[in-house]
Amino acid sequence: MKEFFDVTDPEALKSLAIPERVKILELFEDLEPRTAKQIATELGENAARLHYHVKELVRVGLLEQVDTRVKGSIVEKYYQPVAKVIQVSLRVMIEENAQELSDIIFTPFRTTENDLVRTLNRFVASDVDVRKEYKDTFAYNFTEVYLNQEERNQFVQELQELVHKYKGLKSEGGRRKFKYYDILFPLTPADPSEDDNDSFVDLDE
């Protein structure tokens, strides 16, 4: 398995706008190969429908078959992502898929949002003892920075190195599964013509 894989193929980019396929890729955080049936079971999805998405991920080069095992009359095919970290070239995304840019960017975010809401709901509904499990587990950061191109490249490289440092850790020794999501983008100055404050009417006056 490669360390990093840059997604440049438009067909592969489109797969990242399909929630089921994003969930499949996210399932391999532990880097363990799985069959399509195992993936379907872990995700609670219909096996036939899930197998279609697995085949499509293989076709566009995001998943690869890494092993074949024969059990009686059954041939089991094991799959794995093409790299530990799959990253998207925004330049290619914008040039080739401008109309689908929003879906491609925000589909992983929406699956992350669903996971976060589910975790928060469990936290809120749980008793005191269960809430202790979540102590010192959440982390949140939101900021804006000024960077030139060289600084931007260095920033991204350091983030990639940090992700790589922890990516290969196994589910053992008291570790729990965390999800990390980040997006870096240049801000476009606000258009003064879009300021609609003058149209505000205070109904209490």
Q: Does 25 or 137 have the greater pLDDT score?
A: 25
Q: What is the mean pLDDT of residues 68-94?
A: 83
Distance from C-alpha of 85 to C-alpha of 163, rounded to nearest angstrom: 8
pLDDT tens for 87-105 read 876 666 666 555 566 666 6
Asked if residue 194 has pLDDT above 70, the reply is no
Residue-wise DSSP of 97-115: -GGGHHHHHHHHHHHHHHH
Cα 70 off chain centre by: 32
**Residues 6 or more apart in contact with residue 175 via CB below 8 angstroms:** 169
> Is residue 193 predicted with pLDDT exceeding 70?
no
Predicted confidence at residue 138, as pLDDT, reads 81
* Contact call for residues 139 and 128 (beta carbons, < 8 A): no
pLDDT (tens digit per residue) in 102-115: 666 677 777 777 78
User: Radius of gyration over alpha carbons of the chain, in Å?
Assistant: 21
Q: In 3D, which of 131, 1, 15 has the Cα closest to residue 67? A: 1
Please tell me the predicted confidence (pLDDT) of residue 18.
Answer: 86
The alpha carbon torsion through 96, 100, 101, 102 (nearest 10 deg) reads: 180
State residue 35's pLDDT score. 94
Ordered structural domains, the chain, with CATH: 2-167 (1.10.10.10)
Above 50 in pLDDT, residue 10?
A: yes
> Tell me, what's the pLDDT at 202?
47
Maximal CA-CA distance, the chain: 80
Buried b (16+ CB within 10 A) or exposed e, 107-126: bbeebbeeeeeeeeeeeeee
Phi, psi of 158 (to 5 degrees): -65, -40
At residue 195, φ and ψ (nearest 5 deg) are -75, 115
| Mean per-residue pLDDT of the chain | 80
Closest CA to 21 of 107, 118, 87: 107
Residues above pLDDT 90, as percent of the chain: 23
DSSP 94: H
Q: What percent of the chain has pLDDT over 70?
A: 83
Torsion of CA 47, 52, 53, 57, to 10 degrees: 130
